[in-house]
Each structure stands twice: as C-alpha cells, then as structure tokens.
Amino acid sequence: MSFEAWVAIHTPRINAALDQLCPSDGSPLREAMRYSLLAGGKRLRPLLCIAAAEAVGGSAESVLPAACALEMIHTFSLIHDDLPAMDDDDLRRGVPTCHVKYDEGTAILAGDALQALAFKTLLKSIQHTEHPCLAIGALAEACLSMCDGQAADLAAEGKELSLAELQEIHEQKTGELITNSIYLGALLGGGSEDEVFRIQGFGYHIGIAFQIVDDILDVTGDDATLGKPAGSDLKHDKATYPKLVGLDESKRLARAAEQEALKALEIFGETAEPLREIARYIVERNT
C-alpha cells in the first residue's frame, strides 16, 4: 500500500471518530470545541500514533481513541496559543481562530474542555492495556511540557538565545507531544520494551525536525499556504532557527534530525514504513 493510500484510509477514520467523540449539544461551548477540532489540519499526531502501533504489530482500531485524544490536546494548545494574551493570531487552519469566531472567554473554555475530553477519550484505549498509568502519565506530561514550553517561548521574546536554549523550548512546546504520540501508539499497540524505546527515539528527533521546519515556513511561507499568519515569529521577535543560524543551516539541521529519526527505526521492517514516510513528509512539507 502506498503512503498516500494509507493516509487516505486513516484520516477519514480519525475525523469521523473526532466527530463522534465530541458531539454537538447545541451549546456555544460545544460548538466552539467542534469548530476548532473539526476545522481540518494534518492530523499528524493521531497518524503518528496509529503508525507507531502498526509498526509494533498493533492495530489502528485499538489506538484510535488515544489518537483522537492526542488531536484534542493539540487543538486545545492551538486555541490557547492563538489568544490575544499569547500569540494573538486571527487565522488558523485557513479559518478565523476560535476567539475571533466566538469570543475570548469561550475560546479559553473550549481549550480547557478539550483537554478534559482528551483524558476521558484516552480511557477508551487503555481499558485492557497492561500499562494504563504509563499512558495517562505520558499524555499528562505532554500537556505540562507544552505549558512550560509556551511560558518559556513568551519569556524569550526579544531575547538572544543559544541554540541549546532554543532547542529546549521547542522540545517542550512541540516535541514532547509528538514524541508521546508515537510512544502511546507503540505502548498501546503492544510493543516490546526495546521497540518502544526505539520508537521514542524516532519521536524525539522527528519532533526537532518538525519545529525547525515550522520556523523555516514562518519565513518562507504565506498565509494562504500555511492556513495561518506567516511572519508571526518575526512580528513577536521570537527566537527561531532561521534567526539564530540562518535558513540554509536550519534546513541542514532538519535533514540531520530526519536521518537520526530514521536510524532509530532500523530494527523495524515494512510495518514501520508509514513512520518513515511521515518523517520525510515533515521535512519536505510546505504547510
């Protein structure tokens, strides 16, 4: 099966499950949750979760609720990141941000509610697993890390950072959720200790690559292609890889991170091919 066919199978499944797991009840809060959750997006984190489960011999069905929980956490973070008190963006996934479509109070509560719904949803994937506490702890750690990273990112605006300091912020803000998306897939898919360890290594490096490319696209992309305001990092005088080391070196670092990620998958056969293809996509994407 081609990678495109694999994505074409799983993305509609993810979207349908998200629709069912966050049903409308007619309230403005639930409509705001659904507005942001179902607005589109790459569904990268749930796809990584499914790909990791399949890489260790597990099924997509067994981890689909966990995959959806990860997308809920990601969406909650985007809603809050876009708020005027944070990045103050008015466009996300090609449509007005949640606080622009509704209001700030509703957006804050929609993000809060999606975080709670994520943990409720995760329970559907861990009822029969041997390691329910590890799964819950991984999702909680990702949430905490994102908050730490966002706080550090805000505090660093207008300041000169070292490459190590910048990487730490990105690992917290973006990398931890990507790493734990893959970890949850491997864990709940029944991977061995060594398989889970290797896949975590893949997640760590691909998380770095993802954020480097995000920084590059903020410089080279446009609003229509990205579905969000380009140049936002420059507007807020944020520390980024292009600002720190230049575009060419940033591209080299992204490729280097991709290669390290692929090395971590050397013990796996064809079952890990979707993970390899996602790694290539992350580095080559333009959105």
Q: CA 24 to CA 233: how far, in whole Å?
A: 35
- Give me 123's structure tokens: 């329970």
Question: Dihedral angle at the C-alpha atoms of 87, 72, 137, 185, nearest 10 degrees?
Answer: -120
- Give the chain's mean pLDDT: 92
Superfamily holding 3-284: Farnesyl Diphosphate Synthase (1.10.600.10)
Residue 267: phi and psi, rounded to 5, are -80, -10
pLDDT exceeds cutoff 70 at 227: no
Query: What pLDDT does 2 receive?
Result: 86
Per this entry, what is the length of the chain? 287
pLDDT exceeds cutoff 90 at 229: no
Which comes out higher in pLDDT, residue 183 or 153?
Answer: 183
Query: What pLDDT does 225 receive?
Result: 62
> Is residue 128 very low, low, confident or very high in pLDDT (cuts 50, 70, 90)?
confident
Query: What pLDDT does 40 receive?
Result: 87
* 13-42 confidence digits (pLDDT tens): 999 999 999 999 999 999 999 999 999 889
The residue-averaged pLDDT of 253-282 equals: 95
Query: What pLDDT does 157 receive?
Result: 84
Which comes out higher in pLDDT, residue 70 or 224?
Answer: 70
* 44-72 confidence digits (pLDDT tens): 999 999 999 999 999 999 999 999 999 99
The residue-averaged pLDDT of 201-215 equals: 94
The residue-averaged pLDDT of 192-217 equals: 94
Q: Are residues 94 and 42 in contact, defined by beta-carbon separation less than 8 angstroms?
A: no
Residues of the chain above pLDDT 90, percent: 77
pLDDT exceeds cutoff 70 at 80: yes
Query: What pLDDT does 285 receive?
Result: 87
* 270-287 confidence digits (pLDDT tens): 999 999 999 999 999 887
pTM for the model: 0.93
Concatenated DSSP letters for 165-200? Answer: HHHHHHIIIIIHHHHHHHHHHHHHTT--HHHHHHHH
Q: CA 121 to CA 19: how far, in whole Å?
A: 12
pLDDT exceeds cutoff 80 at 184: yes
Q: Are residues 118 and 72 in contact, defined by beta-carbon separation less than 8 angstroms?
A: yes
- Give me 18's structure tokens: 């998200």
Query: What pLDDT does 127 receive?
Result: 79
pLDDT exceeds cutoff 90 at 109: yes
DSSP H or E run through 95: strand 95-96
Q: CA 261 to CA 272: how far, in whole Å?
A: 12
> Is residue 262 very low, low, confident or very high in pLDDT (cuts 50, 70, 90)?
very high
pLDDT exceeds cutoff 70 at 224: no
